[in-house]
């Protein structure tokens, strides 16, 4: 029960954060989940709960959704599922936390990666890559945000559009893991607790958005995500046996 309660609380807070600032919550959550769940369950459980978080946020902001830019993303996502969905079957699931940690660091600090992300001006391509990467690393980061910010001046529209696009990719991710035979029913308690807390976090976040300094939150996010990524990487390397606790004076 401790794990379920902690994950529900964390999901409420990260869902609230994303509802306020538009990004960051999903990556923080995926960085924390290896502390509470086995590696094989991280991505599918994260997908189910983030689907609830983003779908609820999209519903609360539905009057701001520009459907003209949703359909290209959807088509790109379907292609991403077809390509990356086959590749994930050949990945060692115990290494997924390592992929997550490295990916978070690249997103936060690699100028080359960020230039590449900003260069994408096409929702078809973004849908393809964001959905494909999501299958491996859970929360693929703000690939769609630069283009959304470029197209829309209204922050509420940016957040609503990001939410509906993220709902698409997390739906695809859940379907992939169902097809692979992941037993969601074995984790129904934690999924239920996190889904409820995600919806509640979205509801609260939308209502306090105008009162919270989102710019401050965005400045703090890279440092928090970096600390989480380093912990995830070291913990996974120890689990895989590639690093020994004695190296840190702990064993």
pLDDT above 90 for 20:
no
**pLDDT score of 230:** 85
Confidence at 75, pLDDT banded by 50, 70, 90: very high
Asked whether residue 108 carries a pLDDT value surpassing 90, the answer given is no
pLDDT above 60 (res 251): no
How many domains is the chain partitioned into structurally? 1
φ, ψ for residue 140, nearest 5 deg: -75, 10
* pLDDT band at residue 247 using 50, 70 and 90 as cut-offs: low
228's CB contacts (< 8 A; 6+ apart) are 28, 31, 32, 101, 104
Contacts of 128 (CB under 8 A, 6+ apart): 76, 77, 79, 80, 83
Mean of all residue pLDDT scores within the chain: 82
Instruction: Answer whether residue 72 shows pLDDT above 90.
Output: yes
| Contact (CB, 8 A) for 105 and 111 | no
What pLDDT score was predicted for residue 59? 92
- By residue range, what is the domain housing residue 55? 2-248
Quickly state the pLDDT bin for 244 (edges 50, 70, 90).
Answer: low
For residues 126-135, give the mean pLDDT.
Answer: 84
177-201 pLDDT, tens digit each: 888 888 888 888 998 998 899 889 8
| Count of CA atoms in the C-beta half-sphere (13 A) of 34 | 28
CA triple 204-209-213, angle to 5 deg: 130
Number of C-beta neighbours around residue 217 at 10 A = 17
Lowest mean pLDDT among 57-71, 99-113, 171-185: 99-113
pLDDT of residue 131: 86
d(CA 26, CA 173): 14
**pLDDT bucket at 138, cuts 50 / 70 / 90:** low
Confidence of residue 93 (pLDDT cuts 50, 70, 90): low
Q: Is 24 left (phi over 0), alpha (psi -120 to 50) or beta?
A: left
Helices (H), 184-213: 188-208
Q: What is the mean pLDDT of residues 133-138?
A: 75
d(CA 130, CA 165) in angstroms, rounded, equals 10
pLDDT in tens, 219-243: 777 787 788 778 778 877 877 776 6
Confidence of residue 71 (pLDDT cuts 50, 70, 90): very high
Asked if 127 and 72 touch (Cβ cutoff 8 Å), the reply is yes
């Amino acid at each position: 029960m401790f794990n379920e309660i902690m994950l529900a609380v964390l999901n409420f807070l990260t869902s609230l954060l994303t509802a306020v600032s538009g990004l960051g919550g999903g990556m923080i959550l995926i960085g924390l989940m290896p502390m509470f769940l086995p590696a094989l369950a991280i991505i599918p459980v994260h997908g189910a709960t983030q689907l609830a978080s983003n779908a609820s946020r999209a519903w609360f902001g539905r009057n701001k959704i520009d459907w003209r830019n949703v359909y290209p993303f959807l088509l790109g996502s379907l292609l991403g599922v077809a390509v990356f969905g086959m590749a994930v079957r050949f990945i060692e699931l115990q290494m997924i936390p390592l992929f997550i940690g490295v990916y978070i660091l690249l997103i936060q600090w690699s100028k080359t990666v960020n230039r590449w992300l900003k260069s994408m001006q096409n929702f078809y391509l973004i849908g393809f890559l964001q959905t494909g990467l999501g299958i491996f690393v859970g929360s693929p980061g703000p690939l769609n945000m630069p283009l959304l910010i470029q197209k829309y001046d209204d922050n509420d529209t940016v957040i609503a559009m990001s939410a509906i696009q993220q709902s698409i990719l997390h739906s695809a991710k859940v379907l992939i893991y169902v097809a692979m035979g992941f037993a969601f029913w074995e984790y129904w308690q934690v999924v239920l607790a996190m889904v409820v807390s995600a919806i509640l976090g979205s509801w609260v976040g939308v209502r306090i958005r105008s009162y919270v300094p989102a710019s401050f939150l965005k400045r703090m996010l890279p440092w928090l995500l970096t600390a989480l990524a380093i912990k995830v990487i070291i913990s996974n390397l120890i689990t895989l046996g590639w690093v020994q606790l004695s190296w840190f004076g702990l064993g």
